[in-house]
Structure 1
Amino acid sequence: MAGAYRGPDDERSDPEDVQRRAERTEAEGRSDVLTGEEILYARVGGQTIAYRSAGRGEPLVLLHGFLCDSRCWRGQLTGLADRFHVVAWDAPGAGASSDPAETFTITDWARSLAGFLDGLGIARAHLLGLSWGGMLAQEFFRLHPARVDHLVLADTYAGWKGSLPEAAVEQRRARCYRDASRPVREVVAEWVPRDFFLSASPELAEEMAAVVADFHPVGFRLMARSLADTDTTPMLETID
């Protein structure tokens, strides 16, 4: 079961995980420039899951992409709150959530999402997945089709395995495994296309750099592995 509480200092949080992340942030000189919506926390199967929530109405669950977290949905949280109860989580291994076990697969993330929604009392929701989050949304739909009202897939894959030639998959896997152990500043320089974001606004470029800078090495590696190992194409024809 999941139960919401206000912060990582609550007695149900994982103090070792919080301390580890704090030490890493201090050692590498990072800071969170986004303040936005209040972060709430839930406990699901021994994991700490952070999330943001806004509005009232039909549930709309936002699933972030690779090297992102719920902060990427800041505009949607405020812009859609007048019509929906908008929930954006930090997947295990991202943002302010704790890291999953090394054996975690996309199916495990989908099961964690189901437990998280159970704890919030959300039996059925609109599900919007971006990039890696779109692959997660597909897996959640495969496991729990009756719990998905509308499925929105944005800039996503049927897994790398289901979308790319094998050589390209292995090239991406190797790059991500390597980058997961690189210094934060190098990863930000490599993965944040600043010219693209600057074309929208300098503020957006800074925000995205701050989000990527908070990556979890474990989450980075495991999410890359899940992309490389997953092929969701067989279930696509089951979507109405």
Structure 2
Amino acid sequence: METVEIDGLRIAYQRVGRGAALVLFHGAGSDSRLWRPQLEGLSDEFTVFAWDAPGCGQSDDPTQGLSAEEFGAITAGFLRAAVPAKPHLLGLSWGSMVALEVYRGYPWLPASLVLTSAYAGWAGSLPPEEVERRYAQVEAEIGQPPEKFINEWLPTLFTHKADPAVVAEASRIMAGVRPAGLRILLSASGRADYRPVLPTISIPTLLLYGADDQRSPLHVARELNRQIPGSKLAVIPDVGHLVQMEAPDAFNTEVRTFLHGVAVSANTPDGPA
């Protein structure tokens, strides 16, 4: 792990490979280890960065919850300090909200977006009663031993077809969840609504989902696809929310193909400046 200090917080991250920068933002209740198949599978032609968000993994805990704007500023600071200019941003679940917050506040930073198992914020994609249910669930879990709630989460993250070894790997990662990380989820993103941001996105965007995702169903994906100009929707069959772990080869292929297309577009006369 490498580290960088942003606004007094030590942020830990993994960096592997060589080539265009691809930054991975993990979901809630996890850390950079969730990206093992991508760190291994995409580093042959990309420099892959996977951070531990504040309050997660080996990164420092903030002293209190962070607003969406504060969290976005820390994330943008991390990108400026640790990552080459114009990286591709890939956000999973809660990490998709991190990527959208970066774009909202700093639209010049990313070259493209890959939003996986994504939301336009819980409040932007889910009914109000579901937002409040999830908020209350996470609030109740803060301070509890992770083993008390991990087994409630896992069936919503994978299909019954998932490799048991992969599910066990995710369980081990989730066992390291800390109260600070859950507080950040709630304070920065628990009631976030990024619907106003979606029509403003002017960089290449891939929406990548598992067909059997229980937490971010395909109707959420289709609405993001409708709202984000020129976005591409790719659906991987027979997998759930943690699509990057349950079907890593298919996931990596979709990401690689998309990023190749971004590179070709950027280098053509009619491509982005």
Q: Which band: TM-score by shorter chain?
A: 0.7 to 0.9
8 Å CA contact 2:90, 2:116 repeated in 1: yes
Distance across 2 between alignment mates of 1:74 and 1:62: 11
Match of 2:72 in 1: 110
Report the 3-state secondary structure (helix = DSSP H, G, I; strand = E; otherwise coil) of the residue aligned with 1:222.
Answer: helix
223-232 or 167-176, which deviates more = 223-232
Distance across 2 between alignment mates of 1:224 and 1:198: 29
Report the 3-state secondary structure (helix = DSSP H, G, I; strand = E; otherwise coil) of the residue aligned with 2:85.
Answer: coil
Match of 1:29 in 2: none
**Structure 1 residues 33-61: Cα deviation after superposition (integer angstroms, max 9, x where no partner):** xxxxxx22221111011111110111100
Distance across 1 between alignment mates of 2:182 and 2:37: 24
Report the 3-state secondary structure (helix = DSSP H, G, I; strand = E; otherwise coil) of the residue aligned with 1:146.
Answer: coil
Tell me the C-alpha RMSD between the 2 structures.
Answer: 1.7
Name the CA shift for 1:55/1:160 in 2 (closer, same or farther; >3 Å).
same
Match of 1:166 in 2: 128
Match of 1:220 in 2: 182
Report the 3-state secondary structure (helix = DSSP H, G, I; strand = E; otherwise coil) of the residue aligned with 2:139.
Answer: helix
58-67 or 159-168, which deviates more = 159-168
Distance across 2 between alignment mates of 1:65 and 1:44: 20
Report the 3-state secondary structure (helix = DSSP H, G, I; strand = E; otherwise coil) of the residue aligned with 1:93.
Answer: coil
Match of 1:200 in 2: 162
- Number of aligned residue pairs: give it: 202
Report the 3-state secondary structure (helix = DSSP H, G, I; strand = E; otherwise coil) of the residue aligned with 1:234.
Answer: coil
Distance across 2 between alignment mates of 1:194 and 1:110: 27
The TM-score, its normalising length taken from structure 2, stands at 0.70
106-115 or 67-76, which deviates more = 106-115
Report the 3-state secondary structure (helix = DSSP H, G, I; strand = E; otherwise coil) of the residue aligned with 1:182.
Answer: coil
8 Å CA contact 1:124, 1:147 repeated in 2: yes
Match of 1:27 in 2: none
The TM-score, its normalising length taken from structure 1, stands at 0.79
Distance across 1 between alignment mates of 2:167 and 2:127: 31
Q: Match for 2:16 among 31, 54, 57?
A: 54
Post-superposition shift, 1:195?
Answer: 9.2
Match of 1:3 in 2: none
Gaps of 5+ in 1: 1-38
Distance across 1 between alignment mates of 2:157 and 2:36: 21
Distance across 1 between alignment mates of 2:29 and 2:17: 26
Identity within the alignment, %:
42
Report the 3-state secondary structure (helix = DSSP H, G, I; strand = E; otherwise coil) of the residue aligned with 2:200.
Answer: coil
Match of 2:194 in 1: 232
Report the 3-state secondary structure (helix = DSSP H, G, I; strand = E; otherwise coil) of the residue aligned with 2:177.
Answer: coil
Say whether 1:143 aligns with 2:108: no
